[in-house]
């Protein structure tokens, strides 16, 4: 997922990830795998969504 630089900092990616997580949970998923070549970016995104 990419957010255009002009639109970053508005919570767009966080919202998309949150919606995906909620959709997976409501469908009965117990595990979700997020792949990201930059581990620090992934950790940061997950921390914001799960807190």
Answer whether residue 17 shows pLDDT above 80.
yes
pLDDT at 10: 93
Do residues 11 and 5 lie in contact, with contact meaning Cβ atoms separated by under 8 Å?
A: no
- C-alpha 50, offset from chain centre: 9
Non-local CB neighbours of 12 within 8 Å, separated by 6+ positions:
3
pLDDT at residue 28, as a whole number: 96
| Total of domains in the chain | 1
Residues 45, 17 contacting (CB under 8 angstroms): yes
More confident site: 46 or 12: 12
Is 34's pLDDT higher than 80? Answer: no
Tokens 């959709």 correspond to 23
Range of the domain at 16: 5-50
Question: Across all residues in the chain, what is the average pLDDT?
Answer: 82
Tell me, yes or no, if the pTM score tops 0.75.
Answer: no
């Amino acid at each position: 997922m990419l957010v255009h630089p002009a639109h970053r900092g508005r919570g767009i990616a966080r919202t998309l990830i949150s919606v995906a997580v909620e959709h997976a949970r409501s469908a009965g998923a117990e595990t979700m795998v997020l792949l990201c070549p930059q581990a620090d970016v992934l950790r940061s995104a997950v921390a914001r969504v799960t807190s």
